[in-house]
Amino acid sequence: MQSNGAFFMMKVLFLLEGRCVEVMNDRVLVVEDEAGIARILQLELEHEGYSVGVAADGRTGYEMASTGEWQLILLDVMLPEMSGIEVLRLIRQAGNPVPIILLTARDTVPDKVSGFEHGANDYITKPFAMEELLARVRNILRIFQQYPKESEGSDVIKLGDLTIELRSRKVYRKDILIELTPREFELLVYLVENRNEEKSREDILSEVWGYDFIGETNLVDVYIRYLRQKLDKGYRHKLIHTVRGVGYMIKEPDA
């Protein structure tokens, strides 16, 4: 952690006065044990209009997260007292759907998949550009806030025998509950909302992950495989289809 601190601070320290800020009410919890990084994140987020809380270890972070007062959590993976992955696991185990972005120096696909499998919504590696982090924060909040707005008229999306409950984030096929991670849920909703349309891996990365995951389109293949195992295995009608040379699509039963 400390080895990246000085370099990280050099990358993200810049003038704040020149940016226009929209006043927001969203509350963001930063769980980061390196004081310099935590302070920079707090100042940047507050400058953008967010209310910010800070925890310096995993146990305190979990206790603060459990209050339910946060709209988003920035969670470092390497923490004292309790690891970030363990904090993430306990938060999800308690049924708390708060969006979580992991902060870590590890950037291999297996590490990222592991974080997503435990329920992370996004993942950013250190050192990172502050503008990129802020863009991801805005994107995750937009995704989570649009579901209630879209579902005011309808809480449910249906496609054949598939039912998606947007508010509860539950998915059923033939009335059988299917457990999905947050990323799997977002991928499924995106494909269903764009049913019968061919989507490239690049399109999916940009729209579901919220940014271009350059050079790692195999991450889409990994998550499509997860969805197929959970949604299509054992069913005659397959929802997810591979479009050779393009990507993937979900088809209506009679399409």
Distance CA 32, CA 4 (A): 13
CATH code at 152-250: 1.10.10.10
Q: Write down the pTM of the prediction.
A: 0.61
- Work out the average pLDDT over 115-143: 85
Helices (H), 151-240: 182-193, 201-204, 218-231
Assigned architecture for domain 2-149: 3-Layer(aba) Sandwich (3.40)
Token pair recorded at residue 3:
């080895």
Q: Which residue has the higher pLDDT, 241 or 96?
A: 241
Of 230, 238, 233, whose CA–CA distance to 255 is shortest? 238
Q: Rounded to whole angstroms, how far apart are CA atoms 147 and 69?
A: 19
**Which pLDDT tens digit goes with each residue over 146-178?**
654 444 445 788 999 999 987 778 899 988 999
Any idea where the domains of the chain sit in the sequence?
2-149, 152-250
Model confidence pLDDT, tens digit, residues 109-123: 676 777 777 888 888
Q: What is the pLDDT of residue 22?
A: 44
In the numeric block, which tokens belong to residue 18? 């020149």
Do 2-149 and 152-250 agree at the fold level?
no
Element (H, E) at 45: helix 35-47
